[in-house]
Amino acid sequence: MKFYLTALFLFALQQLPMQAQQQKTIELKTIEHKVKFAAYDGMIIAGYVDKGAFLNFTGPNINWSYNSSKIMLGMLPSLRIKEDNKTPKNSTITPSLGVGLTYCYKKIAFQLPMYYNTKTAASDGKWNIGIGLGIRLKS
């Protein structure tokens, strides 16, 4: 009887590492990550940059997806909203193209955009960094 119990115990010990390996492979299969190019990602983001607001829609980008998260680097077609107090006045709402880094988790998007203000007679041209928060419409 001792022989059978010892044999059964050794057989059970032998099976434990095999079951652990099978569980690890199952866990690894659920993790997905992809790097791809997208022309449009279906996001609307509002934020602040250079003493004004912006509303942008993510444009062409390179993105990396990992489960429910996505990181994107791309162009940002935008509407910049900034009141001009100088004369002659610029329009309050102007179209602009920015570039930036966007992080999405499920339907929430966080963005660090950069916009360029061109050189004028009064100031040099420079890049302005902003911050934005938005929603992802496309899953």
Who's near 77: CB < 8 A, 6+ residues apart? 56, 57, 59, 95, 97
Contact indicator for 127, 118 with CB cutoff of 8 Å: no
Q: How many CB atoms lie within 10 A of CB 44?
A: 14
Q: What is the pLDDT of residue 20?
A: 46
Rounded to two decimals, what is the model's pTM?
0.70
pLDDT by position in tens, the chain (length 139) = 566 566 656 666 566 555 445 544 445 555 567 888 988 888 999 999 988 999 998 899 999 998 889 999 999 999 999 888 888 888 899 999 999 999 999 999 999 999 998 887 777 889 999 999 999 987 6
CA within 13 Å, CB half, 117: 17
The owner of tokens 């010990």 is 13
